[in-house]
Structure 1
Amino acid sequence: MEGDLQKFKADFFKALAHPLRIRILEVLSEGERNVNELQTALGSEGSAVSQQLAVLRAKNLVNSFKEGTTVVYSLRDPLLTELLAVARRIFDNHLVEAISLLEGIRNEK
């Protein structure tokens, strides 16, 4: 059972291992969007967005449903929003540390 959890985590993080997929999840954390809305928000072409949405769907990170002829996407689990926020805080912490290090180097001169 323990190995199953690590496999799930590894597969989960592999699904997040692309900048465009992360950006798609960030946009979807603001609410449901169709492909055209995602393309506009991301400033990316349709084939790239569709390809990454397919990966996110396959890994059960996003839901999709048809609204007429349009497919609408949403986050499958609202905890993804929290995960992205935590990742942002970790990034900010690393950035603060790097800035402090650079300021220390600059002050040594």
Structure 2
Amino acid sequence: MEERIVSMKSDLFKALAHPTRVRILERLVENDKEVCVCELIEDLGVEQSNLSQHLSILRKQQIITSTKVGLKIMYRIKYPEVLTILEKVQKILAQQFQEGEALMRHLADR
């Protein structure tokens, strides 16, 4: 059972491990409402087929959900907690940048 849970965690991180998917999630959180796939294509500048593949991966992991409204397919984030993960990653990157900057200053002062 423990191995299955570890595998599920890994799969979730794999779903987040692509720049396009991160951009999709960041775009979906901007308005805090459903976004049409046509808007995502335009905003992200990716091909429809490529976007569909990324959306499929996010849906498979149940990170996003979709609903059909007329001819449009609308997407939203299912679990807002995923945004906390992205925010934490942003903080880690900022800390890493600061540490690298401090090291560069130290080396420059030698």
Equivalent residue, structure 2, for 1:104: 106
- Rounded to whole Å, the distance in 2 between the matches of 1:92 and 1:40 is 29
What is the aligned partner in structure 2 of residue 58 from structure 1? 60
Paired with 1:69 and 1:82, the residues of 2 have a C-alpha distance of 32
Aligned residues: 108
- Give the stretch that moved more between structures: 75-84 or 43-52: 43-52
Q: Does 1:26 align with 2:33?
A: no
Q: Matched residues in 2 for 1:82 and 1:89: separation?
A: 11
Q: Which residue, out of 77, 86, 97, partners 1:95? A: 97
Q: Secondary structure at the match of 1:29?
A: helix
Residues 60-83 of structure 1, C-alpha deviations (whole Å, 9 max, x = no match): 111000011000000110101111
**Residue of structure 1 aligned with 2:73, choices 62, 71, 74:** 71
- Following TM superposition, by how much is the alpha carbon of 1:11 offset from its aligned partner in structure 2, in angstroms? 0.8
Distance between the aligned counterparts of 1:63 and 1:39, measured in 2?
A: 17
Q: Detail structure 1 runs of 4+ shifted over 4 Å in the superposition.
A: none
TM-score (norm 2): 0.90
Residue 14 of structure 2 corresponds to: 14
Q: Distance in 2 between matches of 1:101 and 1:49?
A: 39
RMSD: 1.2
Q: CA deviation at 1:90?
A: 0.7
**Consecutive unaligned residues in structure 1, runs of 5 or more:** none
- What SS is found at the alignment partner of 2:79? coil
What stretches of structure 2 of length at least 5 have no aligned partner?
Answer: none
Letter in 2 for 1:43: G
AA of the residue aligned to 1:57: R
Question: Hey, what does 1:80 align to over in structure 2?
Answer: 82
